[in-house]
Amino acid sequence: MSELSKKNKTITVKQLKEHLKNEYPNKFVAEIYLETLENFEDDELVPDLILENLLLSEEDFCKKEENGNS
C-alpha cells in the first residue's frame, strides 16, 4: 500500500470512512467512496489519490482530533 500512500502518512481507511459517514458534505460522493474503501483494510493508509479527489488533507483530520480533545 505504501506505493499508493506516498504523501499520506497518518490517515487510515477507518478514519476516512467515519469522516465520509458523519462529516463529508456531499453524501452522494461519500457513498461512492465508501464502496471503494471496502476494497481496503481498515488499518491501511488511504491512497493519496483518494484524498486528493475528496479535497482532503491530513490537516482536516488533525483539526477534528484537536476539536475533539478540547
Q: Give φ, ψ of 30 to 5 degrees.
A: -60, -45
pLDDT band at 70 (very low <50, low <70, confident <90, very high): very low
Higher-confidence position of 70 and 9: 9
**Tens-place pLDDT, residues 25-63:** 999 999 999 999 999 999 999 999 999 999 999 888 886
Angle at 20 (CA atoms; ends 40, 13), nearest 5 degrees: 25
Q: Is the pLDDT score of 9 beyond 60?
A: yes
Domain boundaries, the chain: 13-69
Give pTM, 2 decimals. Answer: 0.85
**Amino acid 40: pLDDT:** 96
Helices marked H in 1-70: 13-22, 27-37, 48-53, 58-69
Closest CA to 35 of 16, 59, 8: 16
